[in-house]
Amino acid sequence: MGFDNRVFNVNGRGLEMLRSALKLAFQQDGDSTTAKAWRFVPEKGFVLLWVHNAGDGSNAFPCPLSADAAVSMVWEWLEGEQAKGMKFEGWDADCDHDGHNSMGWRVFTGDWGHIAGNTYAICAIRPVYLWHGK
């Protein structure tokens, strides 16, 4: 059973680390959670939902997806133009510092596990810059 006060915010790089982060995000929403829909939110990224509600602009998957089934699709989205066109701000930005930056991703939720007001969100995924020190 999931819980209401979910907190989730993981950044990383690579397909296998993304798979692990998605598995944990799906578990946090309940052991039998599957993604039934998705939606793109320009300020947040690619949002996976455990309920499809046509009124919220979400798009139904042809069948429910586990974290393992969703990871390849999310990875392809991260490599695509929509993801590359996102704005980077705050902790996600290409920050000027005494090290270097590389591209990665972030899997996250907002307060109460919501994303952009959507209460059916499992998590959002977006590209981010990872900061590396000296």
Q: Which of 131, 34, 47 is nearest to 83 (CA)?
A: 47
Residue by residue, pLDDT tens for the chain (134 residues) are: 566 778 899 999 999 999 999 999 999 867 678 999 999 999 999 999 999 987 888 999 999 999 999 999 999 999 999 999 999 999 888 888 877 889 999 999 988 888 988 888 999 999 999 988 86
CB of 129 closer than 8 Å to CB of 104: yes
Name the amino acid, one letter, at 91. Answer: W
Identify the pLDDT of residue 94. 84
Structure tokens at 18: 């993304």
The full set of domain ranges for the chain reads 9-132
DSSP 55: G
Residue 79, classed as helix, strand or coil, is helix
C-alpha dihedral sign at 103, 107, 112, 117: positive
Report the alpha-carbon distance of residue 72 to residue 5 in Å, rounded.
28
Structure tokens at 53: 């509600």
Identify the pLDDT of residue 22. 97
